[in-house]
Structure 1
Amino acid sequence: MQQATLQHRRTVNAKITKSMFILVNFSFQQYLKSRRFSGEILFDIKNRTLKLRVTPPVTSNIEGAIDSTKSLSGGERSFTTVTFLLALWTCVDHPFIILDEYDVFTDELCREYMNRLLVQECAKKRRQYTFLTPLEQNINCDNNGKIHKLSDP
């Protein structure tokens, strides 16, 4: 009886894990599409690893294009990291989320995309988000948030 119950739990756990992987991968792809990137998350359950494959829009139609995150610029890597975090947040529920210097290596356009995605995420869920950045930001939070700017040291 205990073996059957244990096997049932393992089966259910495997199904939940697979569903979470599908949801995170789908969310990751949707967030990437906001900037016309393509990509996927490759989960290896046996080795407990994951790999991000991301292709920027410039190279998405080129056969054999490099899709490693190592080939991305600093801003593209930051954008990919933020989209990965947003995808993970679809499956986890925490009351507080903090990102520190998420946009340091980005250009203005990439920063705008990331900020827009983060503000949209803030509007969707009732959590307390804290984003720390040393850069000047032009973010419109409406009534969903408050921006605090520290004075220069």
Structure 2
Amino acid sequence: MLSCEKLLDLRWNKFQRNAGLLKRQLTWLFNEHLGKKGISGFTNVDYQSKVLSIELTMPQDASHDTIRDTRGLSGTWGERSFSTLCFALALHGMTEAPFRAMDEFDVFMDAVSRKISLDTLVDFAVAHGSQWIFITPHDISMVKPGDRVKKQQLAAPRD
């Protein structure tokens, strides 16, 4: 019986160590994607209270105040949409899937954020070798087709 308790303790310690490593990896990947727009961020996963919090520091904010609530981000320039996309990509980077789909991820983004987001998504998809389906009502002419990138644009719906 004693050996079972030791094995259980050993497993629990490994689980705790892995949980801490995954939290750090999530923040690292999140920051990697945010950095493409000059933003920095931090994710905090509290397993005990089952709470995930995200903090961002915007480059244009001279006070360098940390934004702790994504509702405080500008919807006009797509900051909230871009940071959400970066968080989703960080999670995607930690999981395996043969294909993924994103629907209207760029709806509230300005043209600059949309370009950065599309470039980030395409680079991520090609680097990870997975298939992605992006659904957007916006122009995707800036995405260049290639050996691993195929575009399919549907005609606009008729009213």
Alignment TM class, shorter chain as reference: over 0.9
Match of 2:73 in 1: 72
Asked if 2 retains the 8 angstrom alpha-carbon contact of 1:79 and 1:110, the reply is yes
SS at 1:34 equivalent: helix
Aligned to 1:133: 136
* TM, length-normalised to structure 2: 0.89
SS in 1 for 2:8: helix
Aligned residues: 152
Q: Deviations over 1:60-118 (max 9, x none)?
A: x4154544311112211110011101111221111111111100011100001100110
- Alignment-mate amino acid for residue 68 of structure 1: D
* Change beyond 3 A, Cα 1:136–1:34: same
Unpaired runs of at least 5, structure 2: none
Match of 1:90 among 85, 88, 93: 93
Q: Kindly indicate whether structure 1 or structure 2 has the higher relative contact order, using CA contacts under 8 Å at least 6 residues apart.
A: 1
Compute the TM-score of the two structures, normalised by the length of structure 1.
Answer: 0.92
- Counterpart of 1:100 in structure 2 is 103
Measured on the aligned residues, the alpha-carbon RMSD in Å equals: 1.4
Name stretches of at least 5 consecutive residues in structure 1 with no aligned partner: none
Q: Is the 8 A contact 2:56 2:66 kept in 1?
A: no
- Structure number with greater Rg is 2
Segments of 4+ in structure 1 off by > 3 A?
Answer: 63-67
Contact in 2 for aligned 1:29/1:40 (Cα 8 Å): yes
1:148 deviation in Å?
0.6
Which one of 110, 114, 138 corresponds to residue 111 of structure 1? 114
How many percent of aligned residue pairs carry the same amino acid?
Answer: 28
